[in-house]
Chains A and B, each alone.
Chain A
Amino acid sequence: MSELPCMTKLLLGIGMGAALLGGAANAQTASDFAIKAGDRVVF
């Protein structure tokens, strides 16, 4: 990884840590998502 910039190394570390920790904390699927096609969202 020596050629990668510091920022990338940090993010890479975060990602590898997440992967090695066993992955996702939730298991939602696209069909569970509350926002649907055609929605008009006002924040």
Chain B
Amino acid sequence: MESDEALVADLARGEESALRELLRRYERPLSHFIFRHTRGQDVEDLYQETWLRVAKQAVRFDSTKRFSTWLFQIALNLCRDWHRRSVPAGDATAEPVATSDLARREAAMDAAALLANLPEAQREVVILRYYHDMTEEETASILDCPKGTVKSRMHHAMARLAALVRKEAS
């Protein structure tokens, strides 16, 4: 089976089959990643924009790096831009638990509301580590921060989540 990095090289030469294979491998984790970042809003747009950037920047891809890291970095940057556009200035850290009907529905049925209570930096770590099973090294690489920062964010996130879970249980 061809490696992801080899497929990106093929994609850089304009091979559609390489794009199809990469999509097949990453459509599920990437779409879920975006979904959890945006709480289900504009997921398809961001998903397509991510792949558009991958296709356009494939020529400049450093094949010594992991494709998955690069892909999630692109998606993360787009999600951050999306947050900046959608969250009013000055309210970026105190994200509301339920800002829309969709969010309220999610709050009732899954963990989205719980995650929404975390600051963006901590939420990013939890999503990557918890839902995408990434190592601390990979997470640090995607977030472009030291491994220690990932560890400390994870710790703060866990403490905060534990408090929220206790609160929910009581």
Do A and B associate with each other?
A: no
Chain B residues within 8 Å of A, Cβ to Cβ:
none
Chain A residues within 8 Å of B, Cβ to Cβ:
none
